[in-house]
Structure 1
Amino acid sequence: MSMARFSPFELVLLKSRSQVDTATLLLLAWVLVHRQHVSEGQRRRRLAQVTARFRHGHELGPVMGIAHSQDLQAIQLAAEILRKECSKERSLSVLHQSITVATDDGELSLANHYILRFLADLLNVTPTTLSTLFYELTGRPMGTPEDPSRHAYWQQHNPDYFSQKAHEAAAEQQAREAAERQAREQAEQREQKKKRRQQEKQRQQEQAHARKEQTRQERERQRQRDEQQRREQAQQEQARHERAQGGQRQSSYTPPPPDRTTRALAVLGLPPGASRGDVRLAYRRMAQLHHPDRFFSESEHQVALASARFQRIKNAYDYLMQTY
């Protein structure tokens, strides 16, 4: 069976020759550890003296260790053993020994005052019987224990109680303020780190945007250079083509025929660009010179030629008057 399942006091009980004596030993040790102004050596010697006739058969050290640890479950188990295994007289004897151990120096500590009442309750001893037994052993009434939860108790037993309380309150306030200040500083540090991260992220984004814009501009400049180069090549190609065509036109050049306006002006004897007034004057002059009536005495052939010339002059004049 695993020993880890047992408490320290249960292990002591398993090794004990008398569980009743071991239980009594623990209760007396519990009272002794609450004696004031007593060294550990004095406690052990007193416990050995009181329990000299016990038949527990083990060292006092483990029991004293359990008593110092304030193991209330072990204390309750010891009291249960005594209540079940012992008579009322034995329970009173244990309580008698506890009172004797608690009042060896003539004083009953506040802790032992409550411990004696607690043991009496565990051992089914009435408060009246406890008070009577205490009076018989000490010659003074047990009285009512002071309440350490009240300020009056500490004011009586410790004059510096309120100043200590004020000091403790001030220390707690300082601790709270320090904790709050530390929390604020940590929050500020986190905020600063967050802000720096945001700034770094924004800077990286701006750099990425700048690189992207620079790349776009470089591509645009390259596109413009390529476009300019293509235009120059096209112009050069067109110039070569025009030079080639120009050489062919010079080798077999045929001037274009004059247009109708130019021909009409030529009929009236006028150069290109003549004005409307010039056209009227030229028409009158040409009509007088080439009117068919002037050739009535000539042969029919001459009259026909004059009529044809006059008709060309009139047609040219009519056309020019319509277009000018």
Structure 2
Amino acid sequence: MSIARFSPFELLLLKSRSQVDTATLLLLAWVLVHRQHVSEGQRRRRLAQVTAQFRHGHELGPIMGIAHSQDLQAIQLAAEVVRKECSKEQSLSVLHQAITVATDDGEISLNNHYILGFLADLLNVAPTTFSTLFQELTGRPLRSAEDPSRDAYWQVHDPEYHARKQRDAQAAKQKAKDAQTKAEQRQRENKHKQQNKQHQKDQAQHEQAQRERTKQQQEGARQERARQEQARQRERQHWKQEKKRPYSPPDRTHRALAVLGLTPGASRTDIRRAYRRMAQLHHPDRFYSGSEHQIALASARFQRVKSAYDYLMQNI
């Protein structure tokens, strides 16, 4: 159930550590706000003094506000809570406190005459018992009073009561509706802003990742071109050196050693190492991005290296 459907007093009851104490607090506050010639500060101090041992656990301000608003439904609810949860002795104790705070200065206002009778009726205290209790506490008899639990009482004493309550209820309902509309609008705006922000963040991350991939690809291509260029330079240098050497028809072993870049007397370990190095250097897969001519030349060189290695491993 939405919190907006609870009245202020119902919310206090839900939050209270002791609903009986909260209900009693409202009944006493209702009496205090009808004390004549008493300031608001004096009313609050007196209420705090009387209820010092209560265990309600909330501030007195909201209770005083409800009492000032003359919320009869809240007061009836408070009386119902006390009547339901308290024994007869406890109910009499509540009425005792109400009479005490109503007659502290020896005088009782006309409103409190009605209010005390109303509380006695709601708390199921017999009129004779109420009159006896009042005389014992004040030393004088209680005059008869009208019954404020009837609509006729409010029509006499406050003809605008029901109309005012209806206007207040409609105004509160409209205010709550306007607040809900504004809250929903703010929620939609915040959601839209969050979606835009997340979209911008995702777009920025995507663009950054794309730039990183492009940069890595460019760097990889540059390094590959550099390796190929180094291999070609080594090959050109090798063939230049070969051309400078005086020609002397070597035998097959010398030729095989020369292909692997070795000199006579090389061991089988040297041959294996040289083969691995030359095979990596001239393997056709390294030239996959080159032209068909380059791939064909690489295949031929690799085949010469492999043939030289096979021959040497069989004959040395």
- Measured against the shorter chain, the TM-score band is 0.3 to 0.5
Larger Rg, first or second structure (1 or 2):
1
TM-score (norm 2): 0.46
